Amino acid sequence: MSRPVQFNNHVKFEGIPEGYMGEGFMATNLEKVVSLARKNSIWPLPFATSCCGIEFMATAASHYDIARFGAERMSFSPRQCDLIFVMGTISKKMGPVLRQVYLQMAEPRWVMAVGACASSGGIFDSYSVLQGIDQVIPVDVYVPGCPPRPEAYLDGFMKIQELVNAEGLRRRYSDQYKDMLASYGIQ
């Protein structure tokens, strides 16, 4: 037989949007509710090409448990994801592939460059390695490290959540955003 859930005084609710609350109801505006839902249900696409991807596996596994942030549903289809984790060395030949995957993601979409290689080419300052994925797609958050520890992944992910929460519903239609995409040759 099911019982009602008991909350004690130590339970805290995080991230409740501003609004009017009363017995059994809450009123706030649509933008805040959408931001709250988006922030806590991000579907990541792991784009891993080398060692940083292994650290991501630890981030997703039980000890660090990215599911605590509502992000355990990995998507390997760009059309059903919101956030692309780019992890590993990206060669210049791989650049157009990464860009193609980014273009297949629906708006709103976010990008995290994880580790030194994805952020800047890392130790591979060579003719064949892209010196940072921001040469082909816009990046929202950079995570330093070689490789970053799972804590750093989670810290970067929480920065993405802050961006998602703070982003208004109309930002993607703004001239500033369109100009930024245009600077990458994206319509």
Out of 71, 81, 86, 116, name the contact with ligand SF4 by CB under 6 A.
116
**Is 115 a binder of ligand SF4 (CB under 6 A)?**
yes
State which residue, 89 or 161, has the beta carbon closest to ligand SF4: 89
Q: Which amino acid is at 107?
A: E
The set of residues, in sequence order, having a beta carbon less than 8 Å from that of 180 and lying 6+ positions away, is: 138
The residue within the footprint of ligand SF4, chosen from 34, 36, 51, 181 (CB under 6 A), is 51
- CB proximity list for 97: less than 8 A, separation 6 or greater: none
Residue choice 146, 158, 180, 186 for contact with ligand SF4 (CB under 6 A): 146
From the centroid of its chain, how far is CA 38? 11
CB contact at 8 A, 90 and 49: yes
Closer residue to ligand SF4, CB minimum distance, 46 or 88: 88
* Residues 5-44 within binding reach of ligand SF4 (CB under 6 A): none
